[in-house]
Amino acid sequence: MRKLVNAKIHSIVFACDTEPTVITQAPKKEVTLYPRDIELENYNKLSKFKDVDVVDNVKKLNECLKKWI
């Protein structure tokens, strides 16, 4: 990520570890994830980077992509 920021290339990060507890669909069942504190901190830090859009769901990803495509 550092090289992208230094190169001034706009980046979109699809973050999946955004809440203390995340329920996601695995191939055969739902799975509960428990992100570590460092992952939650990094999500917050990435949100503040210049030229970086951090999204946490498909709707936001599509909205973000429309700006750049």
| pLDDT tens digits, 11-60 | 999 988 888 998 888 999 999 999 999 999 998 999 899 889 999 889 99
Q: Do 21 and 33 meet the contact criterion of CB atoms below 8 Å apart?
A: yes
Domain boundaries, the chain: 2-68
CA distances for 34 relative to 15, 21, 42, 53, 55, angstroms? 14, 5, 15, 23, 19
Q: What is the pTM of this model?
A: 0.67
CATH, domain 2-68, list 3.40.50.1100, 3.50.4.10, 3.40.50.720, 3.40.50.1950: 3.40.50.1950
Q: How confident is the model at residue 3 (pLDDT cuts 50, 70, 90)?
A: low
Q: Who's near 56: CB < 8 A, 6+ residues apart?
A: 14, 15, 16, 18
